[in-house]
Amino acid sequence: MASRFQGVEQGPPIEVFLLNRLFTEDTFQNKVNLGVGAYRDENGKPWVLPIVRKMEKQLAADETLLHEYLPVLGLEQFCNASVAMLLGEDSPAIAAGKAFGVQVLSGTGGLRVGAEFLNKHLKYDTFYYSTPTWENHHLVFVNSGFTKPRSYRYWDPKTRGIDFDGFIEDLKSAPENAVILLHACAHNPTGIDPTREQWMKIADVMEERKLFPFFDSAYQGFASGDLDGDAWAVRYFVSRGFELVCAQSYAKNFGLYNERVGNLAVVLNESAHVARIKSQMTWIVRGMYSNPPAHGAHVVAAVLTNKQLFDEWRDHIKLMSTRVMQMREALRSELVKLGTPGNWDHIVKQIGLFSYTGLNQRQCEYLIQEYHIYLLKSGRINICGLNPGNVQYVAKAINDAVTKFPDDQ
């Protein structure tokens, strides 16, 4: 039967989800999923944080908790606690009423609402993203109305580190008011973060060129295991007097992936603008989904506002980040043991969920086809997908791949 939409073209599949599907359908016994960015325990299973289970049980038993609408800008307790966690409880910006939060749909939602606001109300049109960056960044901004996407150099395949000179050069040529997308910590997909000295230099250039910082913080706590340490860059920029926004996600650090819990933190130089900005963000949210989902926010708020629960949560993050670091060591150690060609130090130098292995597309395809090890063709692996049960197998496969298909470099 004829349809209005007959002419609609098939949209391209999203790589990471396609990969996940292929992995799920694969019947090979020793298959390994190093694709999608979600934490896995040492048995390769999803891990619901004990504190989350505890809170959900408590919330379920609470007869006074209903399913009423949250305010458009979200659960206030949640927003305040999120901003405090990001900027530090003693942040002068918070004390002066210059910082506030808007509950959003996880990190993606924060990026979208933030970008829409910057484009519609500040008329910002140009945005910069790192090469490479999370695959969804570009489209989120473009769909928010930004018409000038630009990239700044970041990953240097030769050194497997940051091309810092290139980074700075690209920032220096950015036009005034360009929005610069920065990964607060645990850069996705490379796992390489700027050093503190480098962050200072970045801030210098951004101040000079009047560029606007938009931080994406999807891994606070998850990178180093320390919440404050992982927020250093954002806090530094605030202390330098920058006005900025930061999309915070609780998907990974609370394991609340599917409840879409996030906060968009906004830091201004003057508290006088807060009411107006909130009123406009209200309309953006109203036109998109009216008000945010309640469940996940209640869980996070309950934990963040209770010292004992907060400490329990901190232990969970430490556990997750420690396991990740152990697997980095383990992989590098196995690769070295096998005499795998090349230098694999970057695996332990990188931080967070991901590692940009440096494997090229051909090598990646070989890993998928021959060994049923699923990773992105960029060479990105999710370290969480590794565990004592499979790390040797993975190392063996990588060794085989780089030997069979040496790099042209």
| Catalytic hit among 47, 252, 313, 344 | 252
Nearest CA-CA partner of 110 in 149, 83, 77, 147: 83
Task: Give, as ranges, the residues between 89 and 108 that touch another protein (CB under 8 A).
Answer: 105-106, 108
Residue 333 CB coordination number (10 Å): 15
Measure the CA–CA gap between 145 and 30, rounded to whole angstroms. Answer: 45
| Catalytic hit among 134, 155, 199, 344 | 134
| Catalytic hit among 163, 170, 193, 216 | 216
Query: Would you count residue 43 as binding another protein (CB under 8 A)?
Result: no
Query: Does residue 125 contact residue 148 with C-beta atoms inside 8 Å?
Result: yes
Query: Would you count residue 46 as binding another protein (CB under 8 A)?
Result: yes
Measure the CA–CA gap between 117 and 260, rounded to whole angstroms. Answer: 20
Interface with another protein by CB under 8 A: which range of 152-160, 281-289, 346-354, 374-382?
Answer: 281-289
> Between the CA of residue 213 and those of 206, 209, 216, 247, what are the distances in Å?
8, 12, 10, 11
Query: Does residue 112 contact residue 289 with C-beta atoms inside 8 Å?
Result: no
Task: Give, as ranges, the residues between 343 and 382 that touch another protein (CB under 8 A).
Answer: none
Which CB atom, from 116 or from 163, has the smaller least distance to another protein? 116
Rg (CA), the chain: 22
Q: Distance from first CA to last CA of the chain, Å, rounded?
A: 55
> Is position 252 annotated as part of the catalytic site?
yes
Residue 219 CB coordination number (10 Å): 27
> Is position 216 annotated as part of the catalytic site?
yes
Query: Would you count residue 276 as binding another protein (CB under 8 A)?
Result: yes
Query: Would you count residue 147 as binding another protein (CB under 8 A)?
Result: no
Residue 152 CB coordination number (10 Å): 23
Task: Give, as ranges, the residues between 213 and 272 that touch another protein (CB under 8 A).
Answer: 241, 243, 251, 255-260, 268-270
- Closest contact distance (angstroms) between CB of 319 and another protein is 17
- Closest contact distance (angstroms) between CB of 62 and another protein is 11
Task: Give, as ranges, the residues between 5 and 24 that touch another protein (CB under 8 A).
Answer: 5-14, 17
> Between the CA of residue 33 and those of 21, 29, 229, 237, 300, what are the distances in Å?
10, 12, 29, 37, 28
Query: Would you count residue 67 as binding another protein (CB under 8 A)?
Result: yes
Query: Does residue 381 contact residue 252 with C-beta atoms inside 8 Å?
Result: no
Q: Helix count (H) and strand count (E) of the chain?
A: 16, 13
> Mask 289-318, x = binds another protein (CB under 8 A)?
xxxxxxxx----------------------
How many residues belong to the site for another protein (CB under 8 A)?
79
Query: Would you count residue 212 as binding another protein (CB under 8 A)?
Result: yes
Interface with another protein by CB under 8 A: which range of 46-54, 157-165, 308-316, 345-353?
Answer: 46-54
- Closest contact distance (angstroms) between CB of 157 and another protein is 27
Which CB atom, from 118 or from 347, has the smaller least distance to another protein? 118
- Closest contact distance (angstroms) between CB of 354 and another protein is 16
Query: Would you count residue 41 as binding another protein (CB under 8 A)?
Result: no
Q: Distance of alpha carbon 10 from its chain centroid, rounded?
A: 28
- Spell 165-177 as b/e; 16+ CB within 10 A means b: eebbebbeebeee
- Closest contact distance (angstroms) between CB of 221 and another protein is 17
Q: From the list 15, 41, 196, 283, which residue makes contact with another protein (rule: CB under 8 A)?
A: 283
- Closest contact distance (angstroms) between CB of 118 and another protein is 9
Interface with another protein by CB under 8 A: which range of 61-69, 83-91, 146-154, 191-199?
Answer: 61-69
Q: From the list 22, 168, 205, 277, which residue makes contact with another protein (rule: CB under 8 A)?
A: 277
> Is position 134 annotated as part of the catalytic site?
yes
Mutual orientation of helices 50-61 and 307-337 as an angle, nearest 10°?
150
Task: Give, as ranges, the residues between 170 and 189 that touch another protein (CB under 8 A).
Answer: 177
Q: From the list 19, 32, 34, 36, which residue makes contact with another protein (rule: CB under 8 A)?
A: 36
Measure the CA–CA gap between 397 and 366, rounded to whole angstroms. Answer: 9
Tell the burial category of 325 from Cβ atoms under 10 Å away from its Cβ (0-12, 13-18, 19+).
middle
- Closest contact distance (angstroms) between CB of 166 and another protein is 26
Residues annotated as part of the active site: 134, 216, 252
